[in-house]
Structures are given as C-alpha cells and as structure tokens.
Amino acid sequence: ALGHRVRVVRVAAALGATLLTAAAVAAAGPVAFVGLAVPHLARRLVRGGYAAVLPLSALLGAALLLGADVVGRVVRAPAEVPAGVMTALVGVPVLVVLVRRRGAVS
C-alpha cells in the first residue's frame, strides 16, 4: 500500500540479518554463535515467558557446545575440528531457517 516492492524489502531484510549475524560472530567468536541461535530455538520449544526460556536456553546451549566438541573430536580421529567450526555448521542452518520461516528473527 506504500509503494514498496515487497520482494526487494524481504531480500534486503534477510541480507541485513545475515550480515549483522556475521558481524556479531566475527566480533565475539564462533562459539558465541551459540548465544545467538539457541535462545530462538528454546523460545520455539517453550511457549512461556523468560522464566522458562532462560533455563532451557542455558541447557540447550551447553548441550549444543558439548555435542559440537564431541563431534569435532570424533570426525577427524587423531586431529580435532575446533568447536567453533562445528557450532557454526549447526547454528547457521538454524538461523537461516528461523529467518526464512518468520521473515525476521524475533
């Protein structure tokens, strides 16, 4: 109704969300990516307020990082893949699905 092209705005919003996430990960490190992806996942699992989301986010974050570390140690047996690389391999698709499903991460 305002004359904006919806498809262009959606692509720009998705690109903006991706670039902001990339900048945050570059500044904080790949392991901190868990802090960006896990709360959104916890919010989808528990439809309650912060009293339910916060403890679940802590547990899911710890489980994701532990799982990434274990998989990183097992994938290349004598050598190790850094946990940050493994969390990024899991976290990026999660955030992409969240952005594409809702149009923006909320």
Is residue 64 domain-resident? yes
Is residue 1 domain-resident? no
60 in Cβ contact with 2 (< 8 Å):
no
The number of domains in the chain is 1
Query: How far is the C-alpha of 41 from the C-alpha of 53, rounded, in Å?
Result: 9
Query: How far is the C-alpha of 6 from the C-alpha of 16, rounded, in Å?
Result: 15
Predicted confidence pLDDT, tens digits, the chain (106 residues): 677 788 888 889 989 988 988 887 778 776 777 777 788 888 888 887 888 899 999 999 888 888 888 888 888 878 888 888 888 787 777 777 777 776 554 4
Is residue 17 domain-resident? yes
Is residue 71 domain-resident? yes
Is residue 49 domain-resident? yes
Predicted model pTM: 0.61
| Residue 66 domain boundaries | 6-102
Is residue 81 domain-resident? yes
Is residue 72 domain-resident? yes
